[in-house]
Amino acid sequence: MHGMFPKKEEDMIVTKFGGTSLASAATIRNAVNIVKSDPERRFMVVSAPGKRFPEDTKITDLLYQVHHARKEGNDYQNPLRQIREHFREIIEELGISFDLDREINIIEKEMKEYETADYLASRGEYLNARIISRFLDWPFVDAGLLIRFRGRRLDEEATYPLVRSVLKNMEHAVIPGFYGKDEEGRITVFSRGGSDVTGAIIARGVKADLYENWTDVSGIMSADPRIVENPRKVDWISYRELREMSYMGASVLHEEAVFPIRAAGIPIQIRNTMDPEAAGTRIVPVIPKDARPHTITGIAGKKGLSDLFIEKAMMNAEVGFGARVMNIIARNGVPYEHTPTSIDSMSVIVETAALEHCRNQIISEIDRELNPDRIMIEDGIALIAVVGEGLWKNIGFASRMFAILAKEGIHVRMIDAGFSEMNVIIGISAPQYEKAFRALYDGLQDLM
C-alpha cells in the first residue's frame, strides 16, 4: 500500500526495519507480515533488537557494555546474560529452532581477537538477521560479504559491485545492518544508527526502485513535536531539504543514509511499523509537480551553541584573517556551524560541547596569532531554520518571518540566509528558543 505515492508495475523494494520494530517476537512477526504483503519487497535489512519497554536496554548498548567491561578487566556476564535472555525470548516465542548457546560461545571466542568494540557491536544485527531469516525462510546474507570499509570509511567502489554480484541472482535475502568488513577482513561498524546506511547501500547496489525505511514514527514531521503540539507530517521532502532539517536536529534517518541513494536518485520512504497502512514521508530528488503546493517544508532548530566573536579594526583588509581563525578552530578539532561576518568582526557558531576542552586554548591562540581588538565566547545560543525549496520564490516571506519574531519580542542575534535559497537560519538566545519556534510555526501555517 503506497498511498499517495506512484508505483510502477514491477518495482524492486529494499526494506529496512529499525530496532524498535524488531525488538520482540510480536514486532518481528508484524515486520515479517509487512515484508510478505508485497512481493516487491525483496531484500530485508535489519537492526539489532531495540527496547521492548521503556526501561529495557537495546541489545547494541548491552554489547558495548560487554566490550567495555572486558576491556577494563571486569566481569561482563551480566550484560551478556541480558543479551542471551532477550534473544532466547524472541526465539522461543517465534517457535523456531536456533542454537543460541552455540552462537554466543562463538561470539565470546571471536571477540578476543578484537581490540575495538566493532565486532561485538555488530553481533546484535548478525544474530537478529539470522533469527529472522530462519523465521521468514529467506536466505541470510552476511553484511561482511557485501560491505567493504577502507579504514573506517565505506569503500563505495568496492561495495556496490559486491552487493550487485552477490544479490543479483537472489530472489530474497535478510541482511544484517550496521557493519561490514575492512580491507583486512575485520568487522567494522558504521556510527550508531548505521543500519539505515546499510539499507541505503543495498538499495543502491541492487538498483532498487525504492528504499523503504520502517521505523516507529509516522514520517518526518514539519516541526519538533517536543515543542509544537501535533506538527503536520511532511508528505514529500527533497534530499536537500531533509539534509537541512536533519542537520538542525530533526533526525529520523542516519545522516549518511541519504548519500548512497541520492547519487542514484532512488527515493526513500519512511514508514511506521505501528501504522503500516499510513503512507509516511517520501524523500525524493525533486518534489513532483502534483504534490500539495507549499513554500515551507519544515522548521527545525537546536540549542547548545556558542558564538565565538572576534572584532578587529580593518579586519576586511587583512587577507587571510578568516582563514587563520578557521584554521585555529580546526586545529583544535572543533567543527563549525556558521560564520556570519561584518566589516570588522566575525562570528563563528560552534557547539558548546565541542569547546569543552579547548575554550581557553582557542582564545589564546587567536589572541596571539591575530591580535584582535576584542574576542569573546558567548554560550546559550540557539538556531532555528525555516526550510523549503520554494522559500525564496515567495516575495515578502522574510518580512513576514521577522514581523512574527518582532511581535513576540524575540531578539534576533544572527541571520544566515544562504544562496542555497532553501532556508533562513536565525540565531537567538536559548531562553527564547521555544517561544520563537512556536511563533514561527503558528504564524507561517498558511505557507506549510
Residues near ligand ASP (CB under 6 A) are 19, 47-48, 58, 60, 124, 177-178, 192-196
Burial class (CB in 10 A: 0-12, 13-18, 19+), 356: exposed
Q: What is d(CA 120, CA 411) in angstroms, rounded to the nearest whole number?
A: 49
Looking up cell 576542552 gives: 357
Tell me how far, at minimum, the Cβ of 107 lies from ligand ASP, in Å.
15
Tell me how far, at minimum, the Cβ of 60 lies from ligand ASP, in Å.
4
Tell me how far, at minimum, the Cβ of 251 lies from ligand ASP, in Å.
12
Between 176 and 372, name the residue whose CB sits nearer to ligand ASP: 176
Tell me how far, at minimum, the Cβ of 195 lies from ligand ASP, in Å.
3
Distance of CA 448 to CAs 231, 235, 250, 253, 397, Å?
11, 11, 16, 22, 12
Residue nearest ligand ASP, CB atom distance: 195
Looking up cell 536456533 gives: 98
Between 177 and 267, name the residue whose CB sits nearer to ligand ASP: 177
Tell me how far, at minimum, the Cβ of 184 lies from ligand ASP, in Å.
22
Number of H helices, E strands in the chain: 13, 17
**Cβ contacts of residue 17 below 8 Å, gap of 6+?**
31, 44, 45, 46, 47, 214, 215, 273
Between 141 and 348, name the residue whose CB sits nearer to ligand ASP: 141
Between 47 and 347, name the residue whose CB sits nearer to ligand ASP: 47
Between 19 and 427, name the residue whose CB sits nearer to ligand ASP: 19
C-alpha cell at 116: 575495538
**Cβ contacts of residue 84 below 8 Å, gap of 6+?**
100, 101, 104
Tell me how far, at minimum, the Cβ of 48 lies from ligand ASP, in Å.
4
Between 216 and 408, name the residue whose CB sits nearer to ligand ASP: 216
C-alpha cell at 300: 527545525
CA nearest 187: which of 77, 111, 251?
A: 111
Between 51 and 338, name the residue whose CB sits nearer to ligand ASP: 51
Distance of CA 429 to CAs 227, 370, 380, 414, 433, Å?
16, 28, 6, 10, 7
Tell me how far, at minimum, the Cβ of 1 lies from ligand ASP, in Å.
25
Tell me how far, at minimum, the Cβ of 180 lies from ligand ASP, in Å.
13
Between 205 and 372, name the residue whose CB sits nearer to ligand ASP: 205
Which DSSP string corresponds to 196-213?
Answer: HHHHHHHHHHTT-SEEEE
